[in-house]
Amino acid sequence: MELNKNLSKVKPSGIRKLFDLAQNRKDIISFGIGEPDFITPDHVREAAKQAIDDGYTRYTPNAGFRDLREALAQKLREENNIPVKAEEVIVTAGGTQALFSAFYALLNPGEEIIVPDPGFLVYGSQILLAGGNPVFLPLREENDFQIDIDELKRLITPKTKAILINSPSNPTGMLIKEEVLREIANIALENNLMVISDELYEDILFDGRKHISIASFPDMKEKTISIFGFSKSYAMTGWRLAYFALPENLISEMIKIQQNTAVCPNSVTQRAALYGLLHKEETKLVIEDMRRAYQKRRDILVKGLNEIEGIRCLAPEGAFYAFPNITAIGKSSEELSMHLLDQCGVVTVPGTAFGEYGEGYLRFSFATSAELIEKGVAKIKEGLAKL
Ligand SMILES: Cc1ncc(COP(=O)(O)O)c(C=O)c1O
């Protein structure tokens, strides 16, 4: 029987392959996994236990609990300067589900969404699954992995529906500069395009940088699907919780998608996240502790990598990823990644897992201890010296 043709367009994840190989080995140091190594804050975990005891075991409204949507709208107004009401916020079962719902809501067969390359690998696959075509916009190291506005303009066709942006970025760790964000906003307004803004890493910023949401710019709220989450900010990857701020005309349509797929996000998870939001001071302290730890680890990793011959690494401005250039070593990203696993017991992700323009780079996640980062870098140095 022939299955959905869109499925055959999607390649298995390049990251999984490597992790499967690494699983069979002991003494592995992993820079592979893109999730916080911290446990969810104590008070949020306690709130989840309480929610179970309080009987939060049933379906919730499709868009999420009303009090949670109100707390999220308040957070979006106060911290992101996005002028939303609670009705314009929909809670989802994680950022990945939110992204898929956004693509599904926007795309007719063959329509296009412009996505960054290198970028979070799910974007391209999900657009294909939703029946559309991803159009890849190169991010180049010589341009600090920023979006080149002229190149972006050239990729717009009559089929373009939206531009996806991700700041701070997985995998480059870079932020989109404010002036670039403003130009993207102008392009969206001039060409009647939507912007899908993936802001999952908004809380992990280094050296005093501030997060800017494109939906806070004039007229952009009605043009932007903004996606935020708890996975990275609250170290809640396994709990599956994220949320959108949506233009008014998309709300009822998104609720239809939610109703017919997830039904609702997990009830206990929603109560726990709400407790975290309402106990903002306590939560902010934990988020700041994690942020500071990531920054320290970034410094150790970037310094260590730049001391290795053949590796050149820009300092990430946010998220927990470094994306060093390895072209001088003379191996492809995949070859080098396999070599580091085989010879040094170190897991990295080849840049090509994030798109064609990731060739020549490896992604290092520094959501791991400073001690392991130092050990891992030493092993890489030793292993490369033998090449
Ligand atoms: C850029 C980016 N967006 C979205 C997600 C999805 O996060 P989740 O589905 O865990 O909320 C991730 C996860 O790694 C990510 O890196």
Spell out the domain ranges in the chain. 5-40+283-385, 45-279
Q: Does 18 score more than 90 pLDDT? A: no
Query: How do residues 74-128 score in pLDDT, each as one tens digit?
Result: 999 999 999 999 999 999 999 999 999 999 999 999 999 999 999 999 999 999 9
Ligand 1 touching residue 242 (CB < 6 A) = yes
Cβ atoms 246, 257 nearer than 8 A: no
Cβ atoms 243, 91 nearer than 8 A: yes
Question: How does DSSP classify residue 214?
Answer: G
* Long-range CB contacts (within 8 A, 24+) of 330-338: 332/359, 333/358, 333/359, 333/360, 333/361, 333/362, 334/14, 336/362, 337/18, 337/362, 338/18
pLDDT computed for residue 14 by the predictor: 66
Same fold, 5-40+283-385 and 45-279: no
Mutate to test the pocket of ligand 1, among 196, 197, 200 (most ligand atoms within 8 A of CB): 200
Percentage of the residues of the chain whose pLDDT score is greater than 70 = 99
pTM for the whole structure: 0.96
Atom nearest to 94 CA in ligand 1: 11
Q: State in Å: Cα 381 to ligand 1 middle.
A: 31
pLDDT computed for residue 341 by the predictor: 92
Query: How do residues 242-292 score in pLDDT, each as one tens digit?
Result: 999 999 999 999 999 999 999 999 999 999 999 999 999 999 999 999 999
Q: What is the DSSP string of 238-267?
A: GG--EEEE--GGGHHHHHHHHHHTTSS--H
Question: How does DSSP classify residue 41?
Answer: P
Query: How do residues 28-75 score in pLDDT, each as one tens digit?
Result: 999 998 899 999 999 999 999 999 999 999 999 999 999 999 999 999
**5-40+283-385: in CATH 3.60.20.30:** no
The closest alpha carbon to 272, from 56, 47, 120, 86, belongs to 47
Q: Mean pLDDT over residues 327-339, rounded?
A: 94
Q: Where are the beta strands (DSSP E) in 146-285?
A: 160-166, 194-198, 224-229, 242-245
Q: Tell me the CATH class for 45-279.
A: alpha beta
